[in-house]
Amino acid sequence: MMNSGRREFLVGTGAAMAILGRARTANAGAATGPSKSTGAGQLSVEVMRLKLRHTWTTVMSSSDYRETILCRYSKDGVTGLGEGAPIKRYDENAKDALAKFDASPLRALFQSGDPWRHESLLGEMARLMPGQYALKAAISGAIADWIGQRLGVPLYRYFGLDPDKTPITTMSIGIDTPEITRKKTQEAAEFPVLKVKVGLDTDEATIEAVRSVTKKPLRVDANEGWKSKEQALQKLNWLADRGVELCEQPLPAAMLDEARWLRGKSRIPLFADEACKSIHDIPRLAEAFDGVNIKLDKCGGIFEALRMIHVARAHKLKVMLGCMISSSVSIAAAAHLSPLVDYADLDGGLLIANDPYRSMTAPAGKITLPDRPGLGLIPVENRGQGHP
């Protein structure tokens, strides 16, 4: 059973972040080469509360804070960190996830399980815990970070990937008034491509506001907001004329026949996001979309995302790596896989004001991976006390 005394609700206070930072720093020195595992593993999960830089609005919701799940896995003097952002669209939230974790045998599983045999260990986790993909992503990330630290290699190297082949990440512009949309677009001047949230009656005003500030390429995400194939086609034609290069999830996920029709007529590529939740969705999406948006929080973590990328490639689909609003812990896990994909939308950490860690950077939008073991996280001290 969960020792509830070990849980911490991190509300962005300096004290909480400093505790995390010290724990991380103390373990960093133990990241040497592999050796025999000794002793029991320790797995803990916490809720992390992230403050948004701007109120974030999409077709689905509007909020100033987001809660994600932070996992720590410790063994042999090394602590790995992982994060997952529960997705409302799939009825997940952080408090439910922790309650399910409390009631599950996962703590005992990871106490006695061998992290070097992570295929078996995480497979057993999947069997024991239906759903709860954000929780699984947090735990998988912590195991991956631990492995990388124990081996003394960055995760991209563990997966055999070329860090020079990372894509450019878009910066997302949430739905807002034209005035704030212009301001956000100006703030994103460093990014060569923007992703703009659409899917409402205000789409044209939003795009005109962005276009009043910049001529750079745009991608849009309708988040299932257009309700008929005819309306979606009309929107896509209008957007194509304004330099939009692709569109995510123009129609509700269940409208697969309509998506197939739309793909035959659209002048820009269409990507499945909400319709692409698990690896099993990919084969049937291949005729209705040009690509898929894979997110670690949505599919259950870094190892599952890697499998999905390969399955998508086998079906000749383009691949985007996306994210939810989350800290650098989650973003780093996705970034280490990014040399494998065509497009990246890994800006979740840039949308928050109290990121407790840093890892990947994105100068001029180019994902730049840290040459540090595991996820390569470095704690940002005192972030919660109002420091920049």
> Shortest gap between Cβ of 293 and Mg ion (angstroms)?
5
What is the rounded CA–CA span in Å between residue 293 and residue 270? 10
Is 297 a binder of Mg ion (CB under 5 A)?
no
Q: Please, which of residues 37-56 interact with Mg ion by CB under 5 A? A: none
Tokens of 315: 């079906």
What DSSP assignment string belongs to 283-295? HHHTTT-SEEEEE
Find tokens 């996705």 and name the residue: 334
Contact with Mg ion (CB under 5 A) among 67, 248, 258, 355: 248
What is the rounded CA–CA span in Å between residue 99 and residue 106? 12
Q: Which stretch binds Mg ion (CB under 5 A): 45-53, 125-133, 267-275, 294-302?
A: 267-275
Nearer to Mg ion, 83 or 297 (CB): 297
Phi, psi of 369 (to 5 degrees): -85, 145
Helices (H), 29-169: 94-103, 106-112, 118-128, 133-151, 155-158
Nearer to Mg ion, 46 or 297 (CB): 297
Nearer to Mg ion, 76 or 248 (CB): 248
Nearer to Mg ion, 273 or 304 (CB): 273
Q: How far, in whole angstroms, is CA 62 from its chain's centroid? A: 18
Contact with Mg ion (CB under 5 A) among 92, 273, 281, 304: 273
> Shortest gap between Cβ of 357 and Mg ion (angstroms)?
24
Tokens of 138: 């947090």
What is the rounded CA–CA span in Å between residue 356 and residue 12? 8
> Shortest gap between Cβ of 278 and Mg ion (angstroms)?
16
> Shortest gap between Cβ of 196 and Mg ion (angstroms)?
11
Nearer to Mg ion, 142 or 236 (CB): 236
Is 347 a binder of Mg ion (CB under 5 A)?
no
- Neighbour tally for 260: CB within 10 Å: 15
Nearer to Mg ion, 44 or 330 (CB): 330
Is 221 a binder of Mg ion (CB under 5 A)?
yes
Nearer to Mg ion, 220 or 362 (CB): 220
- Return the H-helix or E-strand segment holding 353: none
Find tokens 């009825």 and name the residue: 91
Evaluate whether 188 touches 171 at the Cβ level (below 8 Å). Answer: yes
> Shortest gap between Cβ of 249 and Mg ion (angstroms)?
6
The residues with which 293 forms a beta bridge, in sequence order, are 320
> Shortest gap between Cβ of 219 and Mg ion (angstroms)?
10
> Radius of gyration over alpha carbons of the chain, in Å?
20
Q: How far, in whole angstroms, is CA 166 from its chain's centroid? A: 16
| Torsion, Cα of 94, 100, 102, 105 (10° steps) | -130
Q: Which stretch binds Mg ion (CB under 5 A): 155-163, 166-174, 221-229, 257-265?
A: 221-229
> Shortest gap between Cβ of 203 and Mg ion (angstroms)?
15
Residue 93 CB burial class (10 angstroms; 0-12, 13-18, ≥19): middle
Q: How many residues does the chain have?
A: 388
> Shortest gap between Cβ of 322 and Mg ion (angstroms)?
6
Q: Which stretch binds Mg ion (CB under 5 A): 7-15, 33-41, 270-278, 306-314?
A: 270-278
Size of the site for Mg ion (CB under 5 A): 3
Q: Please, which of residues 2-21 interact with Mg ion by CB under 5 A? A: none
Nearer to Mg ion, 76 or 258 (CB): 258
Nearer to Mg ion, 240 or 253 (CB): 253
> Shortest gap between Cβ of 223 and Mg ion (angstroms)?
6
Which spans of this chain sit near Mg ion (rule: CB under 5 A)?
A: 221, 248, 273
